[in-house]
Structure 1
Amino acid sequence: MRYFVNGEQHRKSLLNALVLMFLGYVALLWLSNGLMYFHHMNLSADSVIAYYLGSEAQFTQPRSYQGMLEVSHFHLFSMGMLVVTLTHLMLMTEFSVRLKIWLSVSTYLSAIADEAGGWLVRFVHPLFAYFKIASFLILELSLAALVVAVTIALLRARQRMKSNNLNDIS
């Protein structure tokens, strides 16, 4: 990360390429996250309620405490690592501090809310399905915005590197 802090990223095209490849990997993760969500439910409260509370019409059981705990255990760690990595990379861009703070806070809060949403639907009240849907959408938008912001910053850095190399030659 020191390359971002002291400006060496402009001279380190390999690091730039590695971070761009990581962002491509995160984009695939983002896509699979959406596909998994829509495999189980859609953006209607009824589908979210049926997923977490079970459905007699679909012959599905409610999500179990143990099953939800196992999923949360993995998600809390992995999403935490993903979000800290993406927000850290975004903090090193040239975007405004306001945008950096807004994106960081919305990503962290929506990641926690998305995980909590299922628990709230299952164990508190079915109307939390709207909360689950909103938090999923905000999380997906926030992650996409982070990937796009960091990608734009890195592509701009690559352009500056090319320009500097051309200027150094002349």
Structure 2
Amino acid sequence: MRFFVSGEHYRKALLYTCILLFLGYLVLFAVSAALMYFNHMDLSPASVVDYYLGNEAEFRPPRSYQSLLEVSHFHLFAQGMLAMTLVHLLLMTELPVWLKIGLGATAFFSAVANEAAGWLVRFVHPAFAWLKVGTFLALEGSLLLLVLCIGGSLLRPVARPRPWHRKR
């Protein structure tokens, strides 16, 4: 991370390439996550309810406690690590602090709320399907915005101060 703080990342081709490839990988991850979501349901609350509570007409059983627990166990760790990595990279950009805080908080809270929404639909009330749809969109959007902000900060040229430009 010292490369970001000192500005050396603009001269380090390997680090620059590695981070950009990581960001490209995350775009593919976001696309595959969306494809997986839309394979099971769409953006209508009714499809979310059918997925979590089952649908007798389609011979689909409700999601079990065990299956929700297994998915949540993996997602909470993996999404937390992903959000932490992206927010850590975002902290090293020159973006305004309010934007860094907002994007970071949105990524973390939407990931947790998205996971909780499935449990709430299944075991509390079907009306929480709106929460599932909203948090899915917020999570996908915040991850893509994080990727764009970090990638943009790597790609834009930065004026390097010269010794004769120093303020006295």
Distance in 1 separating the partners of 2:158 and 2:125: 53
Amino acid at match of 2:137: L
User: Which segments of 5 or more consecutive residues in structure 2 lack a partner in the other structure?
Assistant: 161-168
Distance in 2 separating the partners of 1:90 and 1:105: 12
Amino acid at match of 2:19: V
Distance in 1 separating the partners of 2:69 and 2:5: 38
- Report the equivalent of 1:142: 142
Trace 1:12-27 onto structure 2 (pairs within 5 A).
12-27=12-27
Displacement of 1:2 in angstroms is 1.5
Distance in 2 separating the partners of 1:64 and 1:154: 44
SS at match of 2:61: coil
Trace 1:102-121 onto structure 2 (pairs within 5 A).
102-121=102-121
- Report the equivalent of 1:57: 57
Amino acid at match of 1:100: K
SS at match of 1:143: helix
Distance in 2 separating the partners of 1:2 and 1:85: 15
Give the root-mean-square deviation of aligned CA atoms: 1.5
Displacement of 1:13 in angstroms is 1.7
Distance in 1 separating the partners of 2:45 and 2:134: 10
- Report the equivalent of 1:167: none
Displacement of 1:150 in angstroms is 0.6
Amino acid at match of 2:86: L
Displacement of 1:160 in angstroms is 4.5
Distance in 2 separating the partners of 1:101 and 1:54: 38
TM normalised by structure 1 equals 0.91
Amino acid at match of 1:120: L
Distance in 2 separating the partners of 1:144 and 1:32: 13
Distance in 2 separating the partners of 1:57 and 1:46: 14
Deviations 1:93-133 (A, max 9, x none): 11111110110011110000011110000011000000110
Distance in 2 separating the partners of 1:73 and 1:16: 33
User: Which segments of 5 or more consecutive residues in structure 1 lack a partner in the other structure?
Assistant: 164-170
- Report the equivalent of 2:165: none
Amino acid at match of 2:57: A
Distance in 2 separating the partners of 1:130 and 1:23: 29
Amino acid at match of 2:56: E
TM normalised by structure 2 equals 0.92
- The number of aligned residues is 161
Identity of aligned residues (%): 57
Q: Which runs of 4+ in 1 moved over 4 A?
A: none
